[in-house]
């Protein structure tokens, strides 16, 4: 199954993607993780991307697309994939359709994880990520439960950037909800509450 995830930053897209990956073996493709990987590697692309990310803006489409295309070429994608963080605007959605068509693939569903904006700010400020594997946790975790790596606060989870990211989401990304509705691919879950409960609903709406 090929799925894209929609929802505000902090809605819990990554957490649900991790669960789907663990149970069904889908490839979890997070463009945010790909970009942070490029930054950590010190590549020119990473350097260019970092300024946009720290400002809570979208990285230019062509930079993200080159990372995405490379990742979609990997072997594990054949079992299905979950795209987390892409598309983030209408142009990216149109590009994605074309890229997948060229690969003989298509999307089965766009899963919207819906969360009240008031909850989002609180979640993002408490969020921590693993430096080694990208696992997402909360501020009470000092070591990664998956790999033992160091948990840290992403630069863009600092309060000054959170507001800008929510604004970017509302203006650029939220219109994709209508886009996928128009393609009859939208599936929606309430992202509030316990991650395991949300996951039960995720599987229901995806027919898994
Ligand atoms: P979140 O969904 O919590 O905002 P991500 O890790 O998905 O976190 O993304 C972090 C940042 O990476 C975004 O704010 C943006 O700057 C950049 N980014 C990720 N994916 C894309 C994309 N598809 N297009 C443009 N920028 C992106
Ligand atoms: Zn880890």
Mean pLDDT of 49-54: 96
87 upstream amide cis, omega within 30 of 0? yes
Q: Does ligand 1 come within 6 angstroms of the Cβ of 16?
A: no
User: 126 an active-site residue?
Assistant: no
Query: For 42-57, b where at least 16 C-beta lie within 10 A, e where not — what string?
Result: eeebbeebbebbbebb
Please report the domains of the chain, with CATH numbers, ordered by start residue: 2-26+80-115+172-206 (3.40.50.300)
Residue 104 has pLDDT above 90, yes or no: yes
User: 71 an active-site residue?
Assistant: no
Mean pLDDT of 45-50: 97
Q: Does ligand 1 come within 6 angstroms of the Cβ of 157?
A: no
Predicted confidence (pLDDT) per residue in 70-89, tens digit: 999 999 999 899 999 999 99
Mean pLDDT of 46-50: 97
CA of 131 to the centre of ligand 2 (A): 7
CB-based contact 180:110 (threshold 8 Å) = yes
User: 154 an active-site residue?
Assistant: yes
CA of 184 to the centre of ligand 2 (A): 36
What is the reported pLDDT for 68? 98
User: 127 an active-site residue?
Assistant: yes
Which residue out of 19, 36, 71, 165 is catalytically annotated? 165
Which of 135-139, 173-177, 198-202 is predicted least confidently? 135-139
User: 101 an active-site residue?
Assistant: no
Predicted confidence (pLDDT) per residue in 139-150, tens digit: 999 999 999 999
* Residue owning tokens 């995720």: 202
CA of 146 to the centre of ligand 2 (A): 5
CA of 125 to the centre of ligand 1 (A): 16
Residue among 12, 35, 67, 96 whose CB has most ligand 1 atoms within 8 A, to mutate: 35
Shortest-distance ligand to the CA of residue 165:
1
Torsions phi, psi of 105, nearest 5?
A: -120, 170
Q: Which of 92, 27, 26 is nearest to 64 (CA)?
A: 92
What is the reported pLDDT for 117? 84
């Amino acid at each position: 199954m090929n799925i894209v995830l929609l929802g505000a930053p902090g809605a819990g897209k990554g957490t649900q993607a991790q669960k789907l990956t663990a149970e069904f073996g889908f490839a979890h493709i997070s463009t945010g993780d790909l970009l942070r990987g490029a930054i950590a590697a010190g590549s020119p692309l990473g350097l260019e991307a970092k300024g946009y990310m720290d400002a809570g803006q979208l990285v230019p489409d062509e930079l993200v697309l080159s990372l995405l295309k490379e990742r979609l070429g990997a072997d594990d994608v054949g079992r299905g994939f979950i795209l987390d963080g892409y598309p983030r605007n209408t142009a990216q959605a149109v590009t994605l359709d074309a890229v997948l068509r060229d690969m003989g693939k298509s999307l089965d569903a766009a899963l919207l994880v819906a969360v009240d904006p008031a909850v989002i700010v609180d979640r993002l400020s408490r969020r921590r990520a693993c430096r080694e594997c990208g696992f997402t946790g909360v501020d009470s975790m000092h070591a990664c439960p998956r790999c033992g790596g160091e948990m840290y606060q992403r630069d863009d989870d600092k309060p000054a950037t959170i507001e800008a990211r929510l604004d970017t989401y509302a203006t650029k990304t939220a219109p994709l909800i209508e886009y996928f509705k128009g393609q009859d691919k939208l599936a929606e879950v309430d992202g509030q509450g316990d991650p395991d409960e949300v996951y039960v609903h995720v599987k229901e709406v995806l027919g898994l």
